[in-house]
């Protein structure tokens, strides 16, 4: 049986305001409409770091020359260290759906020794709010 979590209640008067707000003010943000292709892998035991490095250092450069490719993000689930997710951001829905980069023979050949399975692939519409260039430089976020 899974124990229930206990909730500690703090009186509102005891809460203090954060030193700096974590959100970006609306004037410093730019809304961008993008599309995302999300591919989830299950790494072989002890191969997660190698898989992450390959996705970052080899697969992303293969995508850079493709029309509409914007950026990729590689994530690892904290709860399941072997689960690795790659989010590729694209400017058009067509490229998101039809650019099946993970199925290309070269990519499969590179990934095969590092993964147990492709868990799932999905496409999404993305409404991204990101900091303007001036705000990004202030908080050290790269603009790609």
Residue 84 is predicted with a pLDDT of 94
Residue-wise pLDDT tens digits, 63-100 = 888 888 888 999 998 999 999 999 998 888 888 788 88
Q: Identify the burial level of 118 via C-beta atoms within 10 angstroms of its C-beta, where 0-12 means exposed, 13-18 middle and 19 or more buried.
A: middle
pLDDT, residue 130, reads: 62
Which CATH number fits the domain 27-138, given the four candidates 2.10.240.10, 3.30.70.100, 2.60.40.10, 3.10.420.10?
Answer: 3.30.70.100
pLDDT of residue 12: 45
pLDDT score of 26: 42
- Report pLDDT for 3: 47
pLDDT computed for residue 31 by the predictor: 56
**Predicted local distance difference test score (pLDDT) of residue 114:** 95
Residue 69, Cβ density class (10 Å: 0-12 exposed, 13-18 middle, ≥19 buried) = buried
Low-confidence ranges of the chain (pLDDT < 70): 1-31, 128, 130-144
| pLDDT at residue number 8 | 46
Name the residue ranges covered by the structural domains of the chain: 27-138
The pLDDT value recorded for residue 29 is 43
Count the helices and strands in the chain (H runs, E runs): 5, 4
């Amino acid at each position: 049986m899974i124990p229930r979590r206990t909730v500690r209640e703090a009186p509102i008067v005891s809460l203090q305001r954060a030193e700096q707000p974590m959100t970006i003010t609306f004037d410093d943000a730019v809304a961008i409409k993008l599309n995302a292709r999300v591919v989830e892998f299950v790494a072989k035991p002890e191969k997660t770091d190698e898989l992450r490095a390959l996705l970052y250092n080899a697969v992303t450069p293969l995508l850079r020359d493709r029309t509409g490719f914007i950026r990729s993000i590689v994530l690892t689930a904290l709860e399941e260290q072997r689960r690795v997710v790659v989010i590729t951001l694209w400017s058009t829905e067509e490229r998101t759906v039809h650019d099946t980069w993970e199925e290309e023979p070269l990519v499969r050949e590179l990934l095969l020794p590092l993964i147990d399975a492709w868990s799932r692939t999905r496409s999404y519409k993305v409404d991204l709010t990101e900091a303007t260039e001036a705000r990004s430089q202030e908080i050290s976020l790269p603009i790609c």
